Structure 1
């Protein structure tokens, strides 16, 4: 039945209504996980491709690349996208963007259902983890995919070492003679995903411990990636009588929140408190923020280049590690 299956066939085989199949493909969040998996398994089994997408795929000489990422959650993702688009250039590629909330805040099933509709010839996944089910389905569908900022066995990936980034920040602050340290990072809702923020905290904590400095739980604040919450948490941290004299934030936006809190409390930066961020985005340059620079545009460019290679000729998956650099500015 491959290539000839219809939505009616999928509904009949899965034992659900046609409208349920439609919701699974177009609005997966409105369907239970059990039903969604059953319908998607049937879609794969029958080789079903919705008609409009089949027409789109029939356009000769055009490859459709999907890029799924938490665009609205982090400014850094837009810079990765610039690298993707630069690598795509003027070639016969159509890049389609899919926005999903940060993996630390959402359990949205968008990623789990995205590839099965037949709309894509390749996929780039940015800062969103693959669970086993999604990974197995991508493999079964033979859809070329490259991961950015995350890794999964059997998939191409482009990444930086977040643990090493935390160690860079700690080493710099230790070298400045600080003895009391703090951290502001992004909270996570699920233990199934180890976020970059959590890995950066791990490297930071480990490097401090190796130098004989303790980063107790009272010196760590984890918040949602919201300006108001971040400033409030930073203000609470810096209001302590024994407040940290050095704070590492897991990205530049959160570091800006620390700077705002220090200003509100009348603390001098870097005299009373030094601040280090992560990413080296435009906000870091504007604020004169010391930060750990990661090659955001370069990661997007490398991922697209690798995906284009895989579209031409599939080869064994490989991992590409990009380096980090400490950029010292006025806040330390």
Structure 2
């Protein structure tokens, strides 16, 4: 029986030093994309399992599932993670969280820190799109993977219809008599994928156009991730001549920025300006914000239950679409 591959074998196969292999596996951001690909190809080819993980995997009956998510930059992800952990319950499964920068703000290769084969039995990817190289690698490794909040051909996914959410907001604001309607979304540095914000805008814009009130191009704005950029963008939008009477923000944090800008400018909400968001968490409740409610915990729970099922019995990939609900409150 051949001996297990070692880090020395990986280094030889990839034509790099042992320290470079270690960096590629443990600190992928510190090596070039080309070097990382060579190391990962060698790891996959040799079936190399890093020693600490080999020990962990040797414990009988314990599986290890990875969750890759923009955990520290998106409050909605925490609720999805709660659903993931609830689905695991008391089962003998280790859940390892890999924090990834927000995809909308990252110009680096998406999912560059993807764990290597042998470390994980399955993977849940939350709110981060797969680029084609990562998708191909996951398929080649036959690593059971479930996507949450995104879709990719050939992969299981749990998601909502963001475009439908945009339509719900448009119909709600039109029914309240608004005819000049704006949108504030999260800015992106990469256009390798269509973000939830873009899909929400597409549904919103289509519904308004069908009603005969398409938004002016200047009434569609984008801001960096976070409250302060949202306030700055909203202040500029609401200070322009012929300002809109209603704003749909792509998430509740952006909506909070619109409300703060309106208050500074002396605009009464909702008499002077209606504001709607997207997500519906504690922030929306505190602000009495009209918003679209996502089944966040349910999406995490459904994804993990599907992954655990795939670990027991692989099956044909399927997509699960969860329903959205518009929650009207004081801001409209």
Task: Please report the TM-score for the alignment, with normalisation by the length of structure 2.
Answer: 0.97
Q: Does 1:6 align with 2:9?
A: no
Give the deviation of 1:144 after TM superposition: 0.9
Q: Structure 1 pair 108/99, CA: closer, same or farther in 2 (3 Å)?
A: farther
CA contact (8 A) 1:170 1:207 kept: yes
Query: What is the Cα-based RMSD across aligned positions, in Å?
Result: 1.3
Give runs of aligned pairs for residues 65-76 of structure 1, distance below 5 A. Answer: 65-76=65-76
Indicate whether 1:276 and 2:315 are aligned: no
1:188 corresponds to: 188
Secondary structure, in 3 states, of the residue corresponding to 2:152?
coil
Q: How far, CA to CA, are the matches of 2:75 and 2:142 in structure 1?
A: 31
What 5-or-longer segments of structure 1 have no aligned partner?
Answer: none
Q: What is the CA distance between 1:109 and its match in structure 2?
A: 5.0
Q: In structure 2, list runs of 5 or more residues that go unmatched.
A: none
SS of 1:21's equivalent in the other structure is: helix
Distance 2:257 2:200 in 1: 18
Once the 2 structures are TM-superposed, how far is the Cα of residue 123 of structure 1 from its aligned partner? Answer: 0.7
**Aligned match of 1:30:** 30
Give the superposition deviation at 1:4.
Answer: 1.3
Aligned to 2:216: 216
1:56, 1:12 → 2: CA distance? 26
What's the counterpart of residue 307 of structure 1? Answer: 307
Q: Distance in 2 between matches of 1:16 and 1:122?
A: 28
| SS of 2:240 mapped into structure 1 | coil
Asked if structure 2 preserves the Cα contact closer than 8 Å seen for 1:144 and 1:307, the reply is yes
Q: CA deviation digits over 1:312-331, x for unaligned, max 9?
A: 11111110000110000001
8 Å Cα contact 1:146-1:157 kept in structure 2: yes
Change (3 A) 1:191 1:110: closer
Using the alignment, how far apart are the partners of 2:169 and 2:178 within structure 1?
12
Q: Distance in 2 between matches of 1:157 and 1:229?
A: 31
Q: Secondary structure at the match of 2:67?
A: strand
Name the SS for the 1:157 alignment partner: strand
Instruction: State the TM-score, normalizing by the size of structure 1.
Output: 0.97
Query: Which whole-Å deviations, capped at 9, do the CAs of 1:255-291 have from their partners, x for residues lacking one?
Result: 0111111111110100000000000111111111000
Residue of structure 2 equivalent to 1:128: 128
CA distance in 1, matches of 2:263, 2:37: 51
**CA distance 1:2–1:172, change in 2 (3 Å):** farther
Distance 1:42 1:120 in 2: 17
Counterpart CA distance in 2 for 1:107 and 1:25 is: 20
- Provide the rounded CA distance (Å) in 1 between the counterparts of 2:299 and 2:214: 34
